[in-house]
Structure 1
């Protein structure tokens, strides 16, 4: 196992001691300087890279893929900025893959890929942070960053007091910002943007914006979840009460559905329909008895049966055809329409002859 570098050793590390480094693409991870993380190694190129590392000075450059879904990335699929890292320990996995613990050392920019087989190697340039011009302004921003992280920790389920305590022990603005962003669940693209930002003031401001947005997103999500839960609870309560009411009515012989079906059956019999019409009405009533009362189709079927029973099947009156009376009524109730009235009178006259 390679010894972990101290903060002082990382700051004094000279990238130019080596002309080129092996490059390991990472699917969904961005490594920051001084961060220690485990990485899964399963692709052929990455396995060959790890197997070729010696026992001393096990340095590699880890670079995030722009698209993590690409199985065999080319140099064009990788970001131009990455992190020089030291491989601390390698573990063999049961499926012939490997897992490694790596420690970030410094930001680097790829100048040129010097080899692509059996794995990528590249010449890199160390990218140092720009000097701080206004320390007082940076101190204020850092204070805001610490407070924002504390606020995020109260609502983010994946953050604990351990993360908060870890940040309290970090005093340098650049390292504090990197560590805060590294533990937040955000997209690789946003983390990469922080990695590539060499101006410490802008890096802190970007981190503040990300944390503030995450707080709002989580709070909004909790509010929506709470509203949905309340609505589900209300619906379940109403359903439970309805079922209880049904059971009570059924026990008393006052089941609402049964009472309504009986009433409709009595109306069908009282309507004195023709046998064919009554047969259709009873068939529809039988179908209605099998439809749940909460279903929209229940109301449609019931309305149809009620319409059938409301028709005047057995009610009739004698025709009284008085042409003079009919003309008088038409003239009193309708202004104009002379041709229409004339046709109506002609029709009644023909009926009168029959």
Structure 2
């Protein structure tokens, strides 16, 4: 290979040529390219060149947005080109086919007869490096460009065939640069690099960078393609499964049910944690066969999730006189007990939050503890729920069972909340002194989290697997004796209800039984 460019003039000899400024394109020697010319000065330069030598100076503008570039707006090195074809289009634009001849440096640029002309001199590609070394570098460049073409689908493979027939090293480097997807500044920098060794090194660096970028893009495309194929496969299989289930009669209203469930989840007013969990479980359910056992478990879980009153409340009454009237109407006697209850309600009304001690009614069976709880709920306009704790030995009764167990259910607290349908009901914990602990756990410890105002803001039910806020629930306990675990008793305000006298029993019989 030789590394000398052919030149149409003696190197270094100045000559006058018409200038065609280019936007966003750099033309190299031996490069054939069509150009569309529309600016008045460019059209004038083209006309002048056609009349004369049929040669133009093609030089890139520094700013592509500039419509009327001057001397300072052009790069210092361009390409002398010959005009091969010229065709005027209907809109006045001229399509011209040009071929680059050689690199030239601009000495002086001035305007004449309505267009730019320049005094230029040709520059010959040189190299201080040994010719043999330049030839080896050019082979390495060609091999590297082959790797680039294999990765870059936009470059046709036929380019490699044409490159293999080029003996001139400078022309080879320029042709490779012309076929690379480089920015204007990089392409111009290669045009301005006269030293062959430096030009080849610069090109190899750029190709290496492009190969790295293309490899990363290829890996990303591969991952995206795999994900899309997986999604398409899952969609196809799901559609097939639905079609089969429809044929078997398993999928009559399944789609509508899932849509209804999705709407309920969105309208339930759940916390972000609960909503994300419910959406995740719903997505799992959509992928399952409706007849599978796992789908039944997930469906039951979602039914409980939407059944919990996340935002629904009743308007609480704070009228103490009305509360006293309700207690008087529902219960005869028990004056001190009713007075204590009114005092308790007065404190709750004052602080407007359930952070005080829990009310505990202690007395023998049949003295009206449960009915007093109902009256308190009625007086405060709260929904009433009752949980019987007699004989409860397993803390899972309070906290719920984990969903890994067959027939798992939420704890009694969540069940009571779902049943009453509001987040601020009165829940009566009946016979709290009858709870017992054994090898299955200590329900009293679980109840501690329920009743402690500092902990029940985020009550953890094992089945629900999300935090539930019990801070607005009014808990009232009943017991037959003070045989209540110490930590629980410390959090309670106890009211002792003694038995009725004979006169009170007679009056109760007259008023409520006869």
For Structure 1 versus Structure 2, the TM-score category normalised by the shorter chain is: 0.7 to 0.9
Is the aligned partner of 1:23 residue 2:19? yes
Taking the aligned partners of 2:430 and 2:187, their CA distance within structure 1 comes to 91
Taking the aligned partners of 2:127 and 2:255, their CA distance within structure 1 comes to 86
Match of 1:307 in 2: 308
Residue aligned with 2:59, SS: strand
Match of 2:148 in 1: 152
User: How big is each residue's C-alpha offset from its partner over 1:246-287, in whole Å with a ceiling of 9 and x where there is no partner?
Assistant: 23333333238649959x99xxxxxxxxxxxxxxx9xx89xx
Taking the aligned partners of 2:94 and 2:255, their CA distance within structure 1 comes to 72
CA contact (8 A) 1:142 1:173 kept: yes
Aligned counterparts, 1:279-298, within 5 A: 294=283
1:216 counterpart (187, 212, 216) = 212
Taking the aligned partners of 2:252 and 2:199, their CA distance within structure 1 comes to 68
User: How big is each residue's C-alpha offset from its partner over 1:122-171, in whole Å with a ceiling of 9 and x where there is no partner?
Assistant: 22233332344312321221110121122223233233343222222222
Taking the aligned partners of 1:131 and 1:171, their CA distance within structure 2 comes to 16
Deviates further, 232-241 or 67-76: 67-76
Taking the aligned partners of 1:47 and 1:352, their CA distance within structure 2 comes to 115
CA contact (8 A) 2:29 2:101 kept: yes
Taking the aligned partners of 1:105 and 1:231, their CA distance within structure 2 comes to 50
Residue aligned with 1:53, SS: helix
Taking the aligned partners of 1:334 and 1:87, their CA distance within structure 2 comes to 100
CA contact (8 A) 2:20 2:46 kept: no
Greater Rg by CA: 2
Taking the aligned partners of 1:46 and 1:99, their CA distance within structure 2 comes to 12
Taking the aligned partners of 1:134 and 1:9, their CA distance within structure 2 comes to 17
Q: 1:248 to 1:133 in 2, by over 3 A?
A: closer
Please list every run of 5 or more consecutive structure 2 residues that lacks an aligned counterpart in the other structure: 269-278, 286-298, 310-413, 422-426, 433-476, 501-514
Q: How many angstroms does 1:203 deviate by?
A: 0.4
Taking the aligned partners of 1:351 and 1:123, their CA distance within structure 2 comes to 120
Q: How many angstroms does 1:197 deviate by?
A: 0.5
Match of 1:60 in 2: 56
Q: How many angstroms does 1:39 deviate by?
A: 1.2
Q: How many angstroms does 1:307 deviate by?
A: 2.3
1:239 counterpart (227, 235, 240) = 235
Q: 1:257 to 1:227 in 2, by over 3 A?
A: farther
1:82 counterpart (78, 83, 89) = 78
Match of 2:199 in 1: 203
1:101 counterpart (79, 97, 109) = 97
2:182 counterpart (165, 180, 186) = 186
CA contact (8 A) 2:61 2:74 kept: yes
CA contact (8 A) 2:79 2:104 kept: yes
Is the aligned partner of 1:125 residue 2:126? no
Q: How many angstroms does 1:204 deviate by?
A: 0.5
Deviates further, 92-101 or 74-83: 74-83
CA contact (8 A) 2:14 2:120 kept: no
Taking the aligned partners of 1:34 and 1:261, their CA distance within structure 2 comes to 70
Taking the aligned partners of 1:226 and 1:10, their CA distance within structure 2 comes to 46
Match of 1:278 in 2: none
Higher helix share: 1
Taking the aligned partners of 2:132 and 2:11, their CA distance within structure 1 comes to 31
Taking the aligned partners of 2:200 and 2:169, their CA distance within structure 1 comes to 8
Q: How many angstroms does 1:334 deviate by?
A: 5.3
Number of positions where the alignment pairs a residue of Structure 1 with one of Structure 2: 313
Is the aligned partner of 1:329 residue 2:502? no
Taking the aligned partners of 1:191 and 1:322, their CA distance within structure 2 comes to 88
Q: TM-score, normalised by structure 2?
A: 0.52
CA contact (8 A) 1:10 1:34 kept: no
Please list every run of 5 or more consecutive structure 1 residues that lacks an aligned counterpart in the other structure: 1-6, 266-280, 286-290
Q: How many angstroms does 1:30 deviate by?
A: 0.8
Residue aligned with 1:255, SS: coil
Match of 2:44 in 1: 48
C-alpha RMSD of matched pairs (Å): 4.0
Q: How many angstroms does 1:28 deviate by?
A: 2.2
User: How big is each residue's C-alpha offset from its partner over 1:153-192, in whole Å with a ceiling of 9 and x where there is no partner?
Assistant: 3233233343222222222222211111112222221111
Q: TM-score, normalised by structure 1?
A: 0.73
Q: 1:329 to 1:318 in 2, by over 3 A?
A: closer
CA contact (8 A) 2:18 2:118 kept: yes
